[in-house]
Amino acid sequence: MEHYLSFLPQLMSSQNAAAEMMNCNQFTQSYGLLLTEADAKQIIAVRKQVLASCGRVELGAGMLGKLIIAFCDSPYINQSDYTDILEELLEIFYYFKNESLDELSDDELIASMKQYFDHQCHGSLELLRSRELEILTNNIRHGKEEYEDLDLEEELYLGEDEE
Amino acid sequence: MISPIVKKTIIEEKQLDQNNYFQSYLKEARGRNLLSEAEIQHMQVQMAELLARQIERYTRFESSSVKIEVAEGIIRSILYGIDSYLINLCDTDECLKILKGTTLSQIYQKGLQLIKSQVKEAEIWLKKVQDNHLEIDNYAYKDTLNALPDFFIYYDTEFFAHHTPASIDYPLYLDKMDTVGINYMSSYLQKLFYENGFCNLFPKDSIKRLLEDYHEQHEELLINIFQLILINALGSVIIQRSAKRLDLNALDCEQIYILLADKNEIYLKTIVREASDQLIKELNITGFLENYIKMGSQEIAVRLKNALENNQMGTLFVLGDESKTIEMIYFEDREKMDDALFIKLSEEIRSCRELSDKLMLLKSEIYTLEDMLDILEADCFFGEEYEGLFKVLDEMEIAMLLKSLNITNHDDFNKGMGYLNWEKEWQKRLYDYLEQGDTVYLEHIVAIIEKIKFQ
């Protein structure tokens, strides 16, 4: 597996990623969210682990900046759990890129994650991971044209709960 | 003989892996201090940038990450492109100049252009193969022919240049299968074209008989037709018969065995080499095909040695089954064409300016012997056109014509025109065509005539 990629230096360009995350502070601080350099390094380290465990490769700064900007206005994120939530969102993002067979672009997946997180999941990462995104990517894998139509499944789920 | 002068290079071609040219070159160059550590690292950085750019293009700028397998595939494709360019240079010294003075991106782009040219050239070979393909009932051969165009539909020069997207089942005579992508496909098509060309030198009926003698379910087998024909043809030459004779029987093999059983490997290699030369000369083979036949002769010599040692000539040659009873062909002609239709057809044929159009009408509208004889006597063909006509008739059809002229065996034919007293132009032309043509072909036709009985 490593044969062809092993001789390439610094595939993931940590410096670019860290710089991009720090730049995002200018935008996120208006929502009371800031990352320190230590936070950025930690997130990059987690990103590296998650990419390896998901069997993916990312070159350059990646999608971290987009993720940060997309989620910074969420009512369910505050400074105290900012870094932890970003790390979990990273893991969810790369996992579901695989589950969607790369049919969803980065922007589409991030937008869906944000939509579900803020609304259907009411800030629950567990629900985001195990319910909405599972159904979404299942729809994609089964070739459903209206793959964003999660309503029916949600009703069925709520019906089971009521029982 | 003076050997050609070859320039001595710092790194010799044979030290490099043709399937990983760039990487093996870097290793050799680094080992000889032709490239510094800094230069190698700079190339690695360029490679990473090139990979990043290609990943962006692959994902249409919609994704910053891809699965590792995809990244590996893309980098292999990049290396394939770089290899294509470097291999195409004059020598390895030039490689060094290029690597020191050109960016990897530029080298890759040039390699990509080369790959695209190769694809265009391979498409020409595909057309040639489609034009000279064999008409045989072998599933692997037919399926492969049908699948070959898929390569040009699905081959991705940019992201998967190292893939060979085609289901190729038919085995070639000589195929190391040590290349991939367009390199493999180009080589496969070229060899298949020349193999087809060789096989087409032999009568179709001979090939059909050879395959039937080889195995009753030959259609289902993964066999190389060229090899079967070549080996039997060489067998014929060894016992001093025409290379075009593919029919070998037990007696013939006994003869080969007596000639060669006590000979060593060196002698056998010489015999096979000389037989190959004789075959090449008799069949007027030159160029690529000549070299192709010669390249395989050593392996045939080894197989011959094994067959002789074990007294199992049937493991090398295809032996005709003489135990089969002679099949008689009972022929009953169908109802001839309506007169009005015949007149219309003959006028249409006469009005054609091109022979090919005449022949197309004849092949598509004439189904009975009587109609064929009437057309031949209806002044539809003239002069040299008869030769073209006889060429498109198969052995059975020619045999039928001769049978209708009361030729029943070789002696009848050999009595000559003076005796036969054929007056019609088509009859004289047919006689000349057969008399001046291949004797083996005439033998086959006479063999068919002897089996025909008109009802």
- For tokens 């007293």, the residue is B421
* C-alpha distance across the termini of chain B, in Å: 66
Closest CA to A87 of A22, A144, A129, A42: A42
Q: What is the structure's pLDDT at A160?
A: 45
DSSP label of B67: E
Stated as kind and residue range, the H or E segment containing B188 is: helix B181-199
Q: What is the structure's pLDDT at A4?
A: 59
Q: How many CB pairs under 8 A join A and B?
A: 68
Q: B182-215 as b/e, with b when 16 or more CB fall inside 10 Å?
A: bbbbbbbbbbbbbbbbbbebbbebbbebbbebbe
Does the beta carbon of B162 lie under 8 angstroms from any beta carbon of chain A?
Answer: no
Q: What is the structure's pLDDT at A159?
A: 44
- pLDDT tens string B23-71: 999 888 888 888 888 888 899 889 988 998 999 999 999 999 999 999 9
Classify strands B452-454 and B329-331 as parallel, antiparallel or unpaired.
Answer: parallel
Radius of gyration for the alpha carbons in chain B, expressed in angstroms and rounded: 29
Q: In one letter, which amino acid is A152?
A: L
Q: Which residue of A lies nearest to B72 if distances are taken between CA atoms?
A: A4
Q: What is the structure's pLDDT at B327?
A: 57
- pLDDT tens string A10-38: 555 667 788 889 999 999 999 999 999 99
Asked if residues B392 and B359 have their Cβ atoms less than 8 Å apart, the reply is yes
Q: What is the structure's pLDDT at B2?
A: 58
Characterise B114 by phi-psi region: left (phi > 0), alpha (psi -120 to 50), beta (else).
alpha
- pLDDT tens string B117-159: 999 999 999 999 999 999 999 999 999 999 999 999 999 999 9
Classify strands B452-454 and B65-67 as parallel, antiparallel or unpaired.
Answer: unpaired
- Helix, strand, coil percentages (3-state) for chain B, rounded to 5, are 65, 0, 35
Phi, psi angles (nearest 5°) of residue A121: -95, -10
Q: Which residue of A lies nearest to B47 if distances are taken between CA atoms?
A: A8
Average the pLDDT over each of B233-237, B290-294, B346-350, B412-416 and give the range with the smallest value: B412-416
For the record, the structure tokens of B279 come out as: 């075959």
Q: Which residue of A lies nearest to B60 if distances are taken between CA atoms?
A: A105
- pLDDT tens string B70-117: 999 999 999 999 999 999 887 888 888 899 899 999 999 999 999 999
pLDDT of B454 > 80? The answer is no
DSSP E strand boundaries for chain A: 56-58
Top residue of B47, B59, B64, B78 to mutate, by most chain A CBs within 10 Å, is B64
Q: What is the structure's pLDDT at B333?
A: 79
Whole-structure pTM over 0.95, yes or no?
A: no
- pLDDT tens string B388-437: 999 989 888 899 999 888 887 777 777 777 777 788 899 999 999 998 88
pLDDT of B6 > 70? The answer is no
- pLDDT tens string A99-119: 999 999 999 999 999 999 999
Q: What is the structure's pLDDT at A6?
A: 61
Closest CA to B110 of B100, B98, B120: B98
Among the partner-chain residues B52, B65, B75, the one whose CB lies closest to the CB of A5 is B75
